A = this chain, B = another copy of it.
Amino acid sequence: MARISLEAAGDIIEAVFAKGAALGLKPLSAAILDAGGHLIAFARQDGASTLRPQIAVGKAAGALGLGVSSRAIGQMAVDRPTFVAALGSIVPSGIVPAAGGVIVVDAGGQPIGAVGVTGDTSDNDEIAALAGIAAAGLQAQA
């Protein structure tokens, strides 16, 4: 199984922040998790608020936990609010049901980790996450 190395995680974060700068986004935070949901690397840009680590991790960990992007979990939360709310209390990191959490897959489509971005709108957070994954030569789950 491929893994996301610390070097690749650093590349992702660098590209996430570059995308944020290019689009003029607010200060971003980015978390890179391994396949088991454990943090490989995290960075919070100057001026970002204090809860950003938990939100970034919660987006990525929720995605890995349910096997879909945090955007899809956001839609799930609209369709089945009590189900998603109930999961929050059984996941140590919580689940953040908003776009910006994206699973990274290997060539065979198996999850090797996830990226969580927060700080601007959820849509922009996801754009930055996807840019980061692509810049590191990795593949986001379709």
Which residues of A approach B to under 8 Å, CB–CB? 1-3, 5-6, 9-10, 34-55, 58, 64-67, 74, 77-78, 80-98, 110-111
Contacts and interface: CB of A to CB of B under 8 A. Distances in A.
Give the number of times this chain occurs in the complex, counting copies: 4
Contacts of A38: 36, 44, 50-53
A114 B64 CA distance: 20
A38 B38 CA distance: 11
A50 B36 contact: yes
24 contacts: A1-B2, A9-B43, A38-B44, A39-B53, A41-B44, A42-B43, A47-B110, A49-B65, A51-B65, A51-B87, A54-B91, A55-B90, A58-B86, A58-B90, A74-B82, A77-B82, A81-B81, A82-B97, A83-B96, A83-B98, A87-B94, A88-B90, A89-B89, A90-B96
